[in-house]
Chain A
């Protein structure tokens, strides 16, 4: 697992060391795009862009899907990692709230017991 993670990070690091690839990620952050679109936007040959996308794909930063003759690229794992991090922060917020709510529940339970005794 550690090994696997390390390979992942090394690949991400290498993928981000190139200005064009960072530009591609920025572009895909705005909208999905085909390899042809990306090649045009970055003034590159189709083959050159395919290589860049391949590096990003290996790093898990981009996923591609071929529909008919067009290969569409979108943001990959990174997006999922962000979502997982957000969900964990959201969980921590509710966990903190619920810890306080536990105290309110305990207090109400005690109060109910005392009131119950008074009525007897």
Chain B
């Protein structure tokens, strides 16, 4: 037996994302800790900024402010290296300690309202993040990406088809 195997490796919990309806996206994940701790990590800016911009995304968090109380505002600024920062901001409209957070996304009129619920069971916490967009078009737009025009999408599709065509030809 390999020595490493005897170390307890906590099983990684799965993150799921689903488009529940024309206007809703739902993200779920379970955490191996009580709700009060997970809630704390979402509501203290000094903790929030430790996980919101993981290195693997290649984007760094330039600033993170979050006044987590009803009516309080948040602002997160990101940057790709030295390029101009991109800001996400809005306000908290519901704050129920250890169980529920609701905030607005005010970057555009098509921004979603985000509800995060924390449900504790047997020392673990099921987190459900629900994003409700104002319209089907708003969510479609978020998915299509504001700047991604059709020509680029077409170029990508053409490229894909050429690659696949080539691999079919080889076999």
The judgment on whether A and B are partners is yes
A contact residues vs B (CB 8 Å cutoff): 6, 9-10, 12-13, 16, 22, 25-26, 29-30, 78, 82-83, 86-88, 90-91, 93-106, 108-109, 112
Query: A26 CA to B12 CA in the complex, in Å?
Result: 43
Number of interface residues of B (CB under 8 A): 38
Given A91-B16, A94-B27, A98-B15, A108:B51 Cβ within 8 A: no
Interface centre among B18, B53, B54, B154 (most CB of A within 10 A): B54
A22: contacting residue among B18, B41, B154, B165, CB under 8 A? B154
B57: contacting residue among A9, A96, A106, CB under 8 A? A96
Shortest Cβ distance from residue A100 to the other chain B in the assembled complex, whole angstroms: 4
What's the dominant secondary structure at chain A's contact region? Answer: helix
B37: contacting residue among A10, A99, A108, CB under 8 A? A108
Query: A100 CA to B29 CA in the complex, in Å?
Result: 13
Shortest Cβ distance from residue A26 to the other chain B in the assembled complex, whole angstroms: 6
Closest 4 CB pairs of A and B: A100-B51, A95-B15, A91-B17, A105-B33
Shortest Cβ distance from residue A22 to the other chain B in the assembled complex, whole angstroms: 7
Does B38 count as interface, using CB distance less than 8 angstroms?
Answer: yes
Q: Which residue of B lies closest to A12 (CB)?
A: B161
B-side contacts of A25, CB under 8 Å: 154
A-side contacts of B158, CB under 8 Å: 16
Contact yes or no, A102 B164, CB < 8 A: no
Q: Which residue of A lies closest to B123 (CB)?
A: A109
